[in-house]
């Protein structure tokens, strides 16, 4: 979630130990603005189903945090089931990735998956249509029963109300790429030609006159040599792997409806009826 130049991150944890480790790791990384909500909870899954709605204070307890309304409903539900919420505020761009890794490494739950489990159990979550329908019904009741005094209401005025559509943005994680290096041994083989020597003894019959020198003592010798393989290893860097991001932007058209109070003026003096739509057409 991006709030101007600083960002906010929130994560649910199932155990107090995981939440405490996340807060401690954030503090060790120089990120001190972390708040733990639900510190008295017994742990996720420990709250009986009948008691989950007994304490309505969880929704109000996170009212000061800047959450989208649908996220606030999900966090309140997780807290009511015994979980823990860690909220990190005022994150700079350089701290955002570090805080995200810490929350993920310490065991933050997948909130989308958890919401799907709750909905399969009957949890309705945040219903935008129902909220708008209730608001429209309240407006109709207010307009249908004005307080009258004589020929005019209290102050003689009708408020013309217009809704304006405000479109904001929030940041959500779309996936993660993690590269890990490790070492393993691979069997290799290589053929090498080795040379060896062998001494042979030859005895040849001859017949020639002998001199006195042949009767002296003599010694001759020859050594045999063989080649043996010598193995050495040379480590070489053969590839580099790095991660980088391509940032793309696109324009998306958001369509919705807004409400506007239309005024109809009936003038019996002239027998005319004018509406705001007529005024709009004349101004075009």
Per-residue pLDDT of the chain (284 residues; tens, 9 = 90+): 544 457 888 899 999 999 999 999 999 999 878 888 888 888 888 877 665 554 456 666 676 676 677 888 888 888 888 889 999 888 888 888 899 999 999 999 998 898 899 888 888 877 665 555 544 544 454 444 444 444 555 566 777 888 787 777 777 777 788 888 888 888 989 998 999 999 899 999 988 887 777 777 778 888 998 999 998 888 898 898 888 888 888 888 888 888 888 888 888 888 888 876 666 555 55
Quickly tell me which residue has 């217009």 as its tokens: 162
Query: The domain containing residue 85 runs over which residues?
Result: 2-120
Whether 188 is in a domain gets the answer: no
Tally of structural domains, the chain: 2
pLDDT at position 220: 86
For residues 142 and 8, membership in a common domain is answered with no
> Is the alpha carbon torsion for 266, 267, 271, 274 positive or negative?
negative
pLDDT of res. 238:
87
Whether residue 69 is contained in a domain is answered as yes
Asked if residue 11 and residue 67 are part of one domain, the reply reads yes
Over its C-alpha atoms, the chain yields an Rg (Å, rounded) of: 42
Note the pLDDT of residue 152.
55
Q: Are residues 162 and 53 in the same domain?
A: no
- Point out the domain boundary residue: 89, 120, 151: 120
Q: Which of 61, 87, 120 is the last residue of a domain?
A: 120
Distance CA 213, CA 215 (A): 5
Q: Phi-psi region for residue 175, left (φ > 0), alpha (ψ -120 to 50) or beta?
A: left
Residue 64 is predicted with a pLDDT of: 65
Is there a domain that residue 158 lies in?
A: yes
pLDDT number for residue 282: 58
Domain-embedded: residue 54: yes
Please check whether residues 18 and 57 belong to one and the same domain: yes
Question: Does any domain span residue 184?
Answer: no
Q: Are residues 95 and 162 in the same domain?
A: no
Last residue of a domain, one of 85, 120, 155: 120
C-alpha count within 13 angstroms, C-beta hemisphere, residue 215: 4
Nearest CA-CA partner of 148 in 139, 138, 158: 158
Are residues 16 and 157 part of one domain?
no
Q: Which pLDDT belongs to residue 14?
A: 93
User: What DSSP designation does 182 have?
Assistant: -
Nearest Cα neighbor of 16 from 38, 47, 46, 33 is: 38
Same domain, 36 and 137: no
Question: In this structure, are 56 and 91 located in the same domain?
Answer: yes
Q: Do 67 and 152 lie in a common domain?
A: no
Do 60 and 83 share a domain, yes or no? yes
Quote the pLDDT of residue 4.
Answer: 47
Whole-number pLDDT of residue 281: 52
Which H or E run includes 6?
Answer: strand 6-13
Whole-number pLDDT of residue 138? 47
Tell me, what's the pLDDT at 147?
A: 43
Query: 273 near 264, Cβ under 8 Å?
Result: yes
| Pair 22, 151 in one domain | no
**Contact criterion met (CB below 8 Å) for 87 and 65:** yes
Distance CA 94, CA 21 (A): 21
Please enumerate in sequence order all residues whose Cβ is within 8 A of that of 10, keeping only pairs 6 or more positions apart, or say none.
1, 65, 67, 71, 75, 85, 86, 87, 88
């Amino acid at each position: 979630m991006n709030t101007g130049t600083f960002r906010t991150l929130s994560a649910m944890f199932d155990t107090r130990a995981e939440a405490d480790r996340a807060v401690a790791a954030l503090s060790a990384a120089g990120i001190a603005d972390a708040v733990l909500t639900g510190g008295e909870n017994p742990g996720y899954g420990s709250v009986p189903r009948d008691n989950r709605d007994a304490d309505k204070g969880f929704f109000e307890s996170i009212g000061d945090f800047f959450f989208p309304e649908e996220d606030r409903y999900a966090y309140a539900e997780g807290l009511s089931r015994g979980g823990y919420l860690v909220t990190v505020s005022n994150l700079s761009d350089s701290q955002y990735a570090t805080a995200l890794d810490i929350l993920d490494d310490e065991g933050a739950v997948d909130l989308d998956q958890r919401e799907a489990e709750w909905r399969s159990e009957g949890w309705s979550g945040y219903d935008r249509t129902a909220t708008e329908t209730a608001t429209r019904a309240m407006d109709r009741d207010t307009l249908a029963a004005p307080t009258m005094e004589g020929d005019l209401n209290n102050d003689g005025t009708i408020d013309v109300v217009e809704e304006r559509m405000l479109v904001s943005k929030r940041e959500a994680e779309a996936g993660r790429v993690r590269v890990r290096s490790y070492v393993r041994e691979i069997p290799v083989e290589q053929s090498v030609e080795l040379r060896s020597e062998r001494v042979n003894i030859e005895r040849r019959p001859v017949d020639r006159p002998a001199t006195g020198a042949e009767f002296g003592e003599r010694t001759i010798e020859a050594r045999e040599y063989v080649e043996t393989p010598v193995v050495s290893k040379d480590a070489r860097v053969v590839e580099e792997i790095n991660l980088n991001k391509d940032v793309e932007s696109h324009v998306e058209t958001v369509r919705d409806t807004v409400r506007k109070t239309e005024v109809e003026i009936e003038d019996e003096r002239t027998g005319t009826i004018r509406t705001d739509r007529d005024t709009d057409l004349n101004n075009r």
